[in-house]
């Protein structure tokens, strides 16, 4: 369970979002939504201990995350970074680095670590290119390898910063279904998503940011009914039923029929 208490987040003393109070419970997918530049990623990075908050407190199971040693924190919470650097190393080596928080001196991964790596790579659908160099992989494949690394960290909390950006739609769906599986495994999943439709369909809870503050915190159904999405994004949202499932579609505010 991650709790944000009156958190101000930003860079160089300049707050981008202020006074955010929310909690991310286990077995629950929380999606942070908002327009470009509203501080979604900044808030996520702050909650994930990648940068210090400018104010307020972030608790993980009741402990201030900045009092937790870096390695211990890395055993409790993992972050899928937004940047996709591609070092010239085999995919399996990258995923093995997900076990780093568990390695003492000398840094020798145990057979158990290797098992966990294999399981993580299979779960993320990256096992088939375990021997390929990251430089040989496409963006989507690379993202799966990074996801496998995050899974190999074997944490209760997983942060993902726009995991589907620049990926083919099929890869995006694979990532969404992986999130659902993580939720069923009782993990806390916190993610920034760009696609409103995907966000509303996968989220258990939505944290909506606008003009430097949290303006909505609740389930996607109530968000849809509140009309806040239409107001903030300047659109008209509709709920439709396709193949027996609920989907959301969005049209420009002044769209003609």
Partner 1 sequence: MNISPKFSIRIYLNKESPRFRVSLLAGAGLLVVLLAALSLCAGAVMIDLGSIWEAVSQGDTQEKAYQIFMYVRLPRTLAALLAGGALACAGAVLQTVLNNALASPNIIGVNAGAGLFTIVLSALFPQWLRFSPLAAFLGALAAAGAVYFIASRTGASRMTIVLSGVAVSSILSAFTDTVLTLFPDAQVGRTEFLIGSFSGVTMDSVKLAGVCILLGIAVCIVLSYDMNVLALGESTASSLGMRTGLYRMVFLISAALLAGSAVSFSGLIGFVGLIVPHAARFLAGRDNRVLIPLCALLGGAFTVGCDILARVLFAPYELPVGIVMSFLGGPFFIYLLLRQKRGRMLD
Note the Cα 147 to chain centre separation in Å.
10
The minimum distance between CB 14 and partner 1, in angstroms, equals 16
Q: By C-beta, is 152 or 223 nearer to partner 1?
A: 152
- Give, as ranges, the residues between 209 and 228 that touch partner 1 (CB under 8 A): none
Told to check if 244 binds partner 1 by CB under 8 A, we report no
Q: Which residue's CB is nearer to partner 1, number 130 or number 171?
A: 130
* Interface residue with partner 1, options 97, 119, 228, 236 (CB under 8 A): 97
State yes or no: residue 100 binds partner 1 (CB under 8 A).
Answer: yes
Site for partner 1 in 16-75 (CB under 8 A): 48, 50, 69-75
Q: Residue 127 Cβ, how far from partner 1 at the closest point, in Å?
A: 14
Q: Which is nearer to partner 1, 17 or 96 (CB)?
A: 96
Per the CB < 8 A criterion, the answer to whether 190 and 47 are in contact is yes
User: Which of 111, 183, 95, 105 has the alpha carbon at shortest distance from 144?
Assistant: 95
Q: Please count the residues of this chain forming the interface with partner 1, following the rule CB under 8 A.
A: 31
Q: How far is CA 41 from CA 64, 80, 81, in A?
A: 20, 12, 10
**Shortest gap between Cβ of 53 and partner 1 (angstroms)?**
16
Q: Are 209 and 30 in contact (CB under 8 A)?
A: no
CB of 151 vs partner 1, minimal distance in Å: 13
Q: Could you tell me the smallest distance in angstroms from the CB atom of residue 103 to partner 1? A: 8
* 211-219 own/partner pairs: CB under 8 Å, 24+ apart: 211/38, 212/15, 212/16, 212/17, 212/18, 212/38, 212/39, 213/17, 213/18, 213/19, 213/20, 214/17, 214/19, 214/20, 214/21, 214/22, 217/22
Q: How far is CA 237 from CA 23, 82, 232, in A?
A: 26, 28, 12
The site for partner 1 (CB under 8 A) is made up of: 48, 50, 69-75, 78-79, 81, 83, 85, 87-90, 93-94, 97-98, 100-101, 103, 105-107, 131, 135, 153
């Amino acid at each position: 369970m991650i709790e944000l208490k009156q958190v101000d987040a930003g860079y160089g003393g300049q707050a981008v979002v202020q006074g955010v109070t929310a909690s991310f419970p286990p077995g629950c997918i929380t999606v942070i939504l908002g327009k470009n530049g509203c501080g979604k990623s900044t808030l996520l990075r702050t909650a994930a201990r990648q940068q210090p908050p400018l104010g307020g407190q972030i608790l993980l199971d009741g402990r201030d995350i900045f009092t937790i040693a870096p390695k211990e924190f890395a055993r409790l919470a993992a972050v899928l970074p937004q940047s996709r650097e591609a070092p010239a190393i085999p995919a399996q080596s990258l995923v093995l680095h997900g076990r780093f928080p568990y390695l003492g001196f000398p840094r020798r991964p145990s057979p158990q670590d290797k098992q966990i790596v294999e399981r993580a790579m299979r779960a993320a659908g990256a096992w088939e290119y375990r021997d390929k160099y990251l430089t040989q992989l496409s963006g989507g494949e690379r993202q799966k390898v990074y996801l496998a690394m995050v899974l190999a960290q074997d944490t209760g909390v997983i942060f993902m910063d726009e995991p589907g950006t620049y990926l083919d739609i099929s890869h995006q769906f694979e990532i969404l279904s992986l999130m659902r599986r993580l939720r069923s495994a009782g993990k806390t999943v916190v993610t920034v998503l760009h696609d409103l439709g995907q966000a509303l369909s996968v989220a258990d809870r939505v944290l909506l940011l606008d003009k430097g503050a949290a303006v909505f915190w609740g389930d996607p159904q109530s968000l849809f009914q509140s009309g806040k999405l239409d107001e903030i994004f300047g659109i008209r949202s509709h709920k439709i039923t396709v193949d027996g499932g609920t989907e959301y579609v969005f049209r420009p505010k002044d769209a003609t029929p």
